[in-house]
Amino acid sequence: MATNRTFTMIKPDAVEANNIGSILGMMTEAGFRVVALKYTKLSEEQAGKFYDIHRARPFFGELVEFMSRGPIVAAILEKENAIEDFRKLIGATNPEQAEAGTIRKLYATSIGENAVHGSDSDENAKIEGDFFFSELERF
């Protein structure tokens, strides 16, 4: 069943480029409500656990190094049709293929350093949200 919730991270590249405010603004302007929000930093172990599904990929080491190199913003967002609409808002994984006006087109610099994460299914949104937030941190 659709939960109308998704999970996102503003990744270290976008935090370093001082784009937290602009990116969160695009999310709320698009109609997403903030359910939970956290500014934190992943250890290499935590980044590896979050991206466990990609462990066998050739870029896994690079991904873990990137995602643990600086702070990130983690959030649970709510909106009707959240997963699909949010994937549309962020654009394709590779910013070269992302549509104009999407967050990745505007703020990502490469397929690896692509500014934001967005869950790809209701099931993963729940797993990823639970990775960062307790029930007491959701409103």
Residues that bind ligand GDP (CB under 6 A): 54, 59, 62-63, 93, 111-112, 114, 117, 120
Beta carbon nearer to ligand GDP, 100 or 136: 100
The least CB distance from residue 54 to ligand GDP, in Å, is 6
For the CA atoms of the chain, what is the radius of gyration? Answer: 14
Question: Which pair of tokens denotes residue 134?
Answer: 């307790």
Question: Which pair of tokens denotes residue 96?
Answer: 């070269």
Catalytic residue chosen out of the listed positions 35, 48, 117, 132: 117
Q: How far apart are CA 99 and CA 48, in angstroms?
A: 29
Q: Measured in whole angstroms, how far is the alpha carbon of residue 29 from the centre of its chain? A: 17
Shortest Cβ contact with ligand GDP: which residue? 112
The least CB distance from residue 85 to ligand GDP, in Å, is 15
Beta carbon nearer to ligand GDP, 20 or 111: 111
Beta carbons of 104 and 118 less than 8 angstroms apart: no
Element (H, E) at 65: helix 60-67
The least CB distance from residue 7 to ligand GDP, in Å, is 11
Q: Examine the residue annotation and report whether 54 is marked as an active-site residue of this protein.
A: no
Catalytic residues, by residue number, are 117
